[in-house]
Structure formats: structure tokens, C-alpha cells
Structure 1
């Protein structure tokens, strides 16, 4: 009997030891370690490799998806096509981008909530439910913002380190395009079309990657603002840019007038960009809704690269 009990005890010790070893070598499993994250909305203590993660920014969701970091919920209404894997029922709909469902979020007991500017009014309430980190995917310096987000994600998640290699690829691709653009001395105007109304974006704006990192000359100083500077077609003809990059907000949020229809007029046709077939309608789902991800940033670069051919 003593021999049998001794053998069983030995087996039990081996099994427990093996489990502890497997757990400790799985970097994706939280071990209770905490890290302090400084972010745009404050300072938050977060559990390393958090497991029950909610994300309120599609660019950040795409970045986590690229790194193989699982989440449990995100806003599903208006979700971009490239995040279609999150349509699965196992991912919980946590409300809208501008109005989180606080009761639903509380009920599913997250251990980390990642928000962006749209949810800032709810930051205090969300912080009472779980550690909440505020990131942004737009700003005066697009790539600097991207670098900062990758640093924060890498600090929270071990798998986030892989994103740094993706960033190097992006930076190299940007350099290649910038050299080509600057060699040809090209200028551009970035226009947001919103149900027939036009806004121009210049330096230090949400679309300034076109100027700062892709090398296009800015035609004049346009005041940086969230919604751009209001312009008309006469303004576009007066500036007469080499390229006109159009982001159709109506294609994303809904509207009665598409940008293609809006730009189909005699004034626009008289511009140099129109004559040279250099009015480029960008993928609004990426540029307006989900900038700041890894694959989305590369797709933005690819669109500009294709426009140069």
C-alpha cells in the first residue's frame, strides 16, 4: 500500500510540475505581473498579457489581430470588412464607437479596455469597470503615433513585439515612395468629401502622412483641425494640384451623394490632376475609419504607390 501511495504521489508531483512548466513557458498566459502604462488619457496599471480585452478602435483591433492577440469584444456596427473575422458570435458587441454599452461591458468582466478619442467622454466610467488605456490612431505625426501604439501594445502583450518588424517594413516602403515623389517634385491636395461638402487637409492633420512621409508638397498652409478646412471647387482649380486624393466619408457613414458624382463637374475637369487622371479616390473605410493599424497602413501606402504608376 505504501509503495502504491508513493507511486501515486510521484505521478501527481510530475503532473503538477509539468503543468507549471507549460504554463510558465506560454508567454500568452497572464502570470499576474502588472505594468504601468502612460497613455493619452492618463496612467493605468495593467495586467501583463491581459486575456479579456475589449477594443474600441478598429485600427488597434486590426493591430492586435495581426499580432495574434485575442480580444473578447468590440463595436460591431459599421465594422470594416477587413475585420470580418470578428463577426463571429464569440466576439461580443460592446456598443457603438461613440456610445459604449456600459452595462454589457460590466457584465462580461474585461481585464483591459482599449479606447480612442471617440470614447474619451466615457473614460472615467470605463476605468471603474476595468483598467482602461487610451490610444489614438490619428495625430500630427502619423508614424510617430503608430510607433507609440506599438510600444504600448508590446509592453502589455508579449506577442506585440512582432509588430516592430511590421513597422520596419512600413518605414522602408514609405522611404521608397517618398524618394520617388520628391524626385518628381509632386504636390497634392487631400480632400474629404462629405455628402457633397468638401474639406481640405494639410500638414499636421489626420491625413498628413501624404505630406510628411510620402513626400508630396503641401500647396499652402491649411489650418490643422479634426474636420479640415472647408473649400469649394473653385479653390481646387485655383491651387491646381498634381494629385487630388479624395476620401469619401459618405461611403463609410452613409450619404446621398458619392464623391465620384461630386467630382464629376467641369471645374474639376479643368484641373491638371483631372487631365492627367490623377484624381485618386482612396479607400475611405481604411483612411477614415481604421487608420493606424499595421495592415491598414500598408494598404494606404500601396494605394499611393499604385497612384504613381
Structure 2
């Protein structure tokens, strides 16, 4: 009886083994076909950029950005980096534009963009690093950590961020999405400029930055967007090759702008160098409540659609533009 049961069990095992041998090749080949199809879907990219040529064998998932610009490009594409630089040497804080998003996503600070921490970058095991000319001397070292792509940012002019935005979006196969966002913001800027001219006419705007060393009037370079794109009138012209001009309170009184955007490196500096000076209360902009206090990272580091939308919104809200 026991021998019969044993033979019966062996027969069942033989049948099962035969079935497995018959179907397993098909199952395996099906799995391989699926894998091959996935690999064929992704096409290796060769990125020609301002610092060389970089090959990408997969869609990047762990990205480290070394300039605020890239945050402005990735944000509309719903991509959050694993690491990012700060805009100021003495701060570990991210741009105001992305502070909450990066905190929620536990994005790691990799130091100031002028001197990024390579060890921290390496610890994050990125599969893509996005850099600018500010890190040009580090390109080879960064490339040893991960594939590195970089583009120059020209702060000496009202720099057009469109082309770079599209190039970066293309890395993630999201060029069409970026184009739609750029077109939307361009249309918004055109309407905004019309509203500026309609409301303020010939009134003149000054953008002031208060630093430890001086008071600066910005009118050209990166800040050209206020005048060339938004169509505000410069309060005073000077050599366009200079982004800013150092002024004192007496000069400010002589110019006496109708509109003021003020960015101070600290509240103490703002009070001591401007607000506590008798000239301040005599200015038309102050008397007419036409002063906007600007965030450093939004205005000074803004090179993309996120900052431009934030700036237009603040000006519209505070100065009653529709």
C-alpha cells in the first residue's frame, strides 16, 4: 500500500515537472520581451551643453541643482530635486519660492551656489547634476560624481530664460509642457505690461537694494525685466553696462521716484540707512504709499517663470493692477 502511494506521488510530481518545463520558456520569454520593450522605450540621450557633452542612459530621478534657475524650471514640471544650493553664502535656507516645498520633500542643502559641498552632493547619489558657470571650475569633479549638465546665466542683461528652460525640460521629455508654461507666462507679462502703462503712465520706478556698504539703484542687467519687459520707466538712466549705481540719500531726494521697490539685506539696514533718514518721508513714493518691499531670493535670484509670476502678483496686489 505504501509502495503504491509512493508511486502515485512520484507520478504526480513527474506530471507537474513536465508542465513547468513546457510553460516556463514562454513565461521567461514573455518577461524578457517586456524588459526589452521597456529598454527600447527609453532612448539614451546625448546632451550638448555649455560645458561639454553628457550622456544619460536613464531618465534622471535623483537630481541635484546648483542654481535657483533650475528650481524654477523643475517646479512647473512637478520635479523636486534631492539636493539644492542656497543663494547666499551665509545662509542654509533655500529660496523663498521653494522653501516649503523643499522642506516637505526633505531636500538637502549642498551649500552656497558659489562654493557647493561636493561631499554632500556625492552622499546624495544623484543621477544628474545641473550647474551653471558659477561652478565651471568644478565641472570635472562634478562629472565624476554623476552626469553633469550646465548652462550659462547672463546677469549682465535682461536674460531670456526660455531657451535654457526648454533644453532642461527636454532632458525629462517634458519640452511640450514647458513650452505651454512659457507661453502662458509670456501672455501674462504682456497683459501686465499694458496694465503698468495704463495705470502709471510716465511715473518712474526705482529698484533699491540696501547693503552693509551702500545703497544701490538697479536699472540694467538682470533687472532690465522691470523696464524692458514690464514697461516701467527708469527713474534715471546711467551707463547700461553697469547693473547698478551707488547713490546716497541726497541723490535719492533729487531723483524723487514715483514708485519704489526696496530690497534690504536686513531690517536694521533698512531702518538705519533709509527709513530713519529725513529724506525718506519726503519721497513721493513714500507719501503716496507706492513702496514695495522685495524678497532677495525672488527678485535678485529670479530667472524663471516661478519668480516672474510671484513678482507680477506682488506688484499687482500691492499697487492695484488688474
TM-score range, shorter chain: 0.7 to 0.9
1:70-81 equivalences in 2 (<5 Å):
70-75=80-85, 77-81=92-96
User: How much has 1:138 moved relative to structure 2?
Assistant: 5.4
Establish whether residue 198 from structure 1 lines up as the match of residue 198 from structure 2.
Answer: no
Q: In the aligned structure 2, how far is the partner of 1:90 from the partner of 1:181?
A: 39
Q: 1:166 to 1:260 in 2, by over 3 A?
A: farther
Q: 2:100 is matched with which residue? A: 84
Establish whether residue 288 from structure 1 lines up as the match of residue 305 from structure 2.
Answer: no
User: How much has 1:72 moved relative to structure 2?
Assistant: 2.7
Q: 2:70 is matched with which residue? A: 60
Q: In the aligned structure 1, how far is the partner of 2:21 from the partner of 2:136?
A: 60
In structure 2, the residue corresponding to 1:246 is in which secondary structure?
strand
In structure 1, the residue corresponding to 2:112 is in which secondary structure?
coil
In structure 1, the residue corresponding to 2:194 is in which secondary structure?
helix
RMSD: 2.9
Q: In the aligned structure 2, how far is the partner of 1:11 from the partner of 1:122?
A: 49
In structure 2, the residue corresponding to 1:207 is in which secondary structure?
helix
Pick the aligned partner of 1:123 from 114, 139, 142.
139
1:67-95 superposed Cα distances (whole Å, 9 cap, x missing partner): 12343322361213433333368644433
Establish whether residue 35 from structure 1 lines up as the match of residue 49 from structure 2.
Answer: no
Pick the aligned partner of 1:157 from 144, 162, 172.
172
Task: Give the number of the structure whose alpha-carbon radius of gyration is greater.
Answer: 2
Q: 1:101 is matched with which residue? A: 117
Instruction: Indicate if the aligned counterparts of 1:201 and 1:224 stay in contact, CA closer than 8 A.
Output: no
1:116-164 superposed Cα distances (whole Å, 9 cap, x missing partner): 34433433432443333333555345461x2022122123221353122
| TM-score, normalised by the number of residues in structure 1 | 0.82
Q: 1:222 to 1:69 in 2, by over 3 A?
A: same
Structure 1 window deviating more from structure 2 (64-73 vs 79-88): it is 79-88
Q: 1:214 to 1:260 in 2, by over 3 A?
A: farther
Instruction: Indicate if the aligned counterparts of 2:223 and 2:243 stay in contact, CA closer than 8 A.
Output: no
In structure 1, the residue corresponding to 2:246 is in which secondary structure?
strand
In structure 1, the residue corresponding to 2:54 is in which secondary structure?
strand
User: How much has 1:23 moved relative to structure 2?
Assistant: 6.1
In structure 2, the residue corresponding to 1:75 is in which secondary structure?
strand
Q: In the aligned structure 2, how far is the partner of 1:112 from the partner of 1:15?
A: 29
Pick the aligned partner of 1:175 from 182, 190, 204.
190
Instruction: Indicate if the aligned counterparts of 1:37 and 1:152 stay in contact, CA closer than 8 A.
Output: no
| TM-score, normalised by the number of residues in structure 2 | 0.79
1:210-249 equivalences in 2 (<5 Å):
210-224=226-240, 228-248=244-264
Instruction: Indicate if the aligned counterparts of 2:222 and 2:243 stay in contact, CA closer than 8 A.
Output: no
Q: 1:185 is matched with which residue? A: 202
Q: In the aligned structure 1, how far is the partner of 2:241 from the partner of 2:82?
A: 34
Q: 1:109 to 1:139 in 2, by over 3 A?
A: same
Establish whether residue 14 from structure 1 lines up as the match of residue 30 from structure 2.
Answer: yes
Instruction: Indicate if the aligned counterparts of 2:159 and 2:222 stay in contact, CA closer than 8 A.
Output: no
User: How much has 1:65 moved relative to structure 2?
Assistant: 2.9
Instruction: Indicate if the aligned counterparts of 2:54 and 2:149 stay in contact, CA closer than 8 A.
Output: no
Instruction: Indicate if the aligned counterparts of 2:207 and 2:262 stay in contact, CA closer than 8 A.
Output: yes
Equivalences, count: 294
Q: In the aligned structure 1, how far is the partner of 2:171 from the partner of 2:244?
A: 34
Q: In the aligned structure 1, how far is the partner of 2:70 from the partner of 2:123?
A: 23
User: How much has 1:10 moved relative to structure 2?
Assistant: 1.8
Instruction: Indicate if the aligned counterparts of 2:259 and 2:290 stay in contact, CA closer than 8 A.
Output: yes
